[in-house]
Amino acid sequence: MNSLLSQIKHLSHQIAAKTIERRRHLHAHPELSFQEFETQKFVKKELEAMGLQAQEIADTGLIVLIEGKNPTKKVVALRADMDALPIIETNEVPYKSQNPGVMHACGHDVHTSSLLGTAQILNELKNEFEGTVKLLFQPAEEKAPGGASIMIKQGALENPKPAGILGQHVATNIPAGKIGFREGMYMASTDELYLTVKGKGGHGAMPDLCVDPIVIASHIIVAMQQIISRNKNPRLPSVLTFGKIEGLGATNVIPNEVKIQGTFRAMDEDWRADGLSKMKKLAEGIAEAMGGSAIFDVLKGYPFLQNDPALTRRMKAAAIEFMGEENVIDLDIWMAGEDFAFYTHHVDACFYRLGIRNEAKGIVNGVHTPNFDIDESALHHGPGLMAWLAISDLNT
Ligand SMILES: [Zn+2]
Ligand SMILES: [Zn+2]
C-alpha cells in the first residue's frame, strides 16, 4: 500500500477521539448564521495549538494556509461551513445543545471538526506534499446571501488562488463508512418567491361587486406550473413549489389580497433567469386580465452547484484508494440548495457526501430535524479522506 496513504489513515484514526471531542464541543455550543463568534474563536484556538495561523474573513470566518514543499506549485482549497439552525434539539445526549433554540442540525459541526482534523494531518505531513492547502472555515451556509458569497467577495479565492476546491457534507441516507460523488450538475439554485395578488374584497354573496384575489391566485398557481412543463427544456431538472397561500377572508368574505410564497429551483443559470421573468409576466398578466394586479418579488438564493467532471473523477478515484471501491457510491441529482455552489462558479469544484447513517443505532433522521444526529465513526475516516483527496489533487 502507498505509504503516504497508510500514514494518513493511521493519523486520521489516531486523532479520531480528538476530532469527536471537537465535534461534540461545537455541537453543544451552536451559533446561528453570521453569529459564529465563539465558533470562530474555538477554531482559531485549535488551529493555533497546531501551530497554524488563521486569518479572519467575513466577520466570523477564517482562512488558513498550510504550505508544503514548493508552495506556489499548486493550491487546493478545502471548505467547511460552521453555522447552526434555529431548531430546539430533542436528542438526549451528553453533547446536547446548550444554546436553547439553536442546534447543529445540518452537520456543520461535523464539517468543521473534520476540517480541523484534516488540518492537523496535513500540517504533520507538510514535507510529504508539494503546493499549498487553503482551508476555508466559512460562516452562514444556511442564510441568504450565504457566507460563501461574502467569502468570495472578500477575496477567499485570491492570493493565493486555488486551482480547485473541495467540500463535504454529511448525508443521512448514506451509511457511515461510505462516500458519495457526482460529476457535473448536482444541487439546485434556490430562489424564494413572494407574490401578492391584489383584488377588491367584499361580501362572498356579491362577487360581481368584487375582484376576487383568491380566484386570481388560483389561476396563477396552476398556470405557473405550466412554465415548468411547457417552457423549460425537459432535459433540465427544475422545481416550482408554492408552500404558503394566505387569503384572510372567511366563508362569506372575499379578501382584498392573497399572499403566496414559494421556491423555484433550477440547474441552469439561463433557465433560472428566463423562468423567473416568465413567472413575473404571467402573474402580472393573469391578474391584470382578471381585473386585479400582482406584485412578484424574488429573493435570490444560491446558484446551482456544478462539480467539475475531471476533478470529481480524480477525487472519486482517490477516494476509492482510501475507502475501497465498495464504499464509494454515485449520487443522484438533489434539488436542495447549498451555498458551496458559489465557489463552483469560480473555480473547479468537487462537493462530495460523507455517509453518517446507522440504522442499527437508530441514526436515521434527516438534516434540519430536531433529532438529527450522526454515527461518529464517520469522523474516524472523514478527516483523513479529505487530507488524502487534497494531497492527491496537489500531486497531479
Ligand atoms: Zn442545512
Ligand atoms: Zn448543511
Strands 184-187 and 305-307: antiparallel
351 alpha carbon – ligand 2 mean position (Å): 12
Give the model confidence (pLDDT) of 14-65 as tens digits.
999 999 999 999 999 999 999 999 999 999 999 999 999 999 999 999 999 9
What is the distance in A from the centroid of ligand 1 to the CA of 120? 26
The predicted structure's pLDDT at residue 396: 82
Give 396 Cα–ligand 2 centroid separation in angstroms: 30
Query: Tens digits of per-residue pLDDT, 282-340?
Result: 999 999 999 999 999 999 999 999 999 999 999 999 999 999 999 999 999 999 999 99
The distance of Cα 114 from the centroid of its chain, to the nearest Å, equals: 16
Residues serving a catalytic function are: 83, 141
For the chain, the average pLDDT equals 97
- The predicted pLDDT at position 184 comes to 97
Query: Count of CB atoms within 10 A of residue 256's CB?
Result: 18
- What lies within 8 Å, CB to CB, of 297 at 6+ separation is 193, 194, 195, 196
Residue 250 CA, ligand 1 centroid: distance in Å: 37
Note the ligand closest to the C-alpha atom of 148: 2
The pLDDT, as a whole number, for residue 68 is 97
How would you class 327 by CB atoms within 10 Å of its CB: exposed for 0-12, middle for 13-18, buried for 19 or more?
A: middle
Question: Which residues surround the ion ligand 2 when the cut-off is CB under 5 Å?
Answer: 106
The ligand that comes nearest to the alpha carbon of residue 111 is 2
Question: Which ligand is in closest contact with the Cα of 107?
Answer: 2
* pLDDT at 1 > cutoff 70: no
pLDDT at residue 85 above 60? yes
Mean pLDDT within 237-261: 98
CA of 353 from ligand 1 middle (Å) equals: 13
